[in-house]
Amino acid sequence: MWGQIYIFRVDLSLGGEDNWPMRKVSVLLILLVVGPTWVRAQSVEEKRRIEEERRQDLLPGEVLSPEHQEMGVPESVFDKQIFFADLLSQEAILRSEAYQAFVILMGVENQYKETTAQFHFLLENGFLPQYLRVESDHYQPLSKGQAAYIFCKILEIKGGVVLRIWGVSQRYALKELVYEGIMSKGLVNDLMSGGDFIFTLKRAADYMAQRL
């Protein structure tokens, strides 16, 4: 497995500038395959180190930001590995965390680094359903139906006759993604677990790579 990943990364570096969409997707595939097993063990220690560095940089009287402040998208490969490994362990992921993953999937994480910017990018490009267009709801759990809708829009799933006539809905988006093998079965109101989301993200990246 490690040998295959190493070769994949070498081949990736030979793709050239003209092949950047494939390189973006391939990088995501590597991140989702490489080591949540070893990354998770290091992520807690890394977080503690970062928090301690931030505490040392505080001015007298300052305190660390609350947990749910604007979250920047992880920038380095290692940061992304930690991000995905942390998602993998969660019983339910937040919409803000999903927004970060979606911009990484589309390869635009460098342009949209904060939650608000990610939200507006997804909103303005028609990826968000009507019921997710409220900024104050960023830190609510993401449902399976909501995730299915966004994945369906990003992947431009055409679907069957019903989807083409009536447009994308949570129910039919979930049905089409299950049919395509991108998402596991479930109910639209089920909370999206980290493991389920990572599985779907990996299959979505596979789907995008096949279309390039």
Give the pLDDT of residue 32: 60
pTM: 0.69
* Mean confidence (pLDDT) of the chain: 74
Whether residue 51 has pLDDT greater than 60: no
Residue the block writes with tokens 């299915």: 148
Give the DSSP H or E segment for 23. Answer: helix 20-33
Which residues fall within 8 angstroms of residue 73, CB to CB, at 6 or more apart?
A: 100, 103, 104, 109, 112, 113, 114, 118
The whole-number average pLDDT for the span 188-194 is 95
The whole-number average pLDDT for the span 170-188 is 93
d(CA 28, CA 51): 26
Whether residue 140 has pLDDT greater than 80: yes
Give the pLDDT of residue 36: 47
Give the pLDDT of residue 203: 93
The whole-number average pLDDT for the span 184-204 is 94
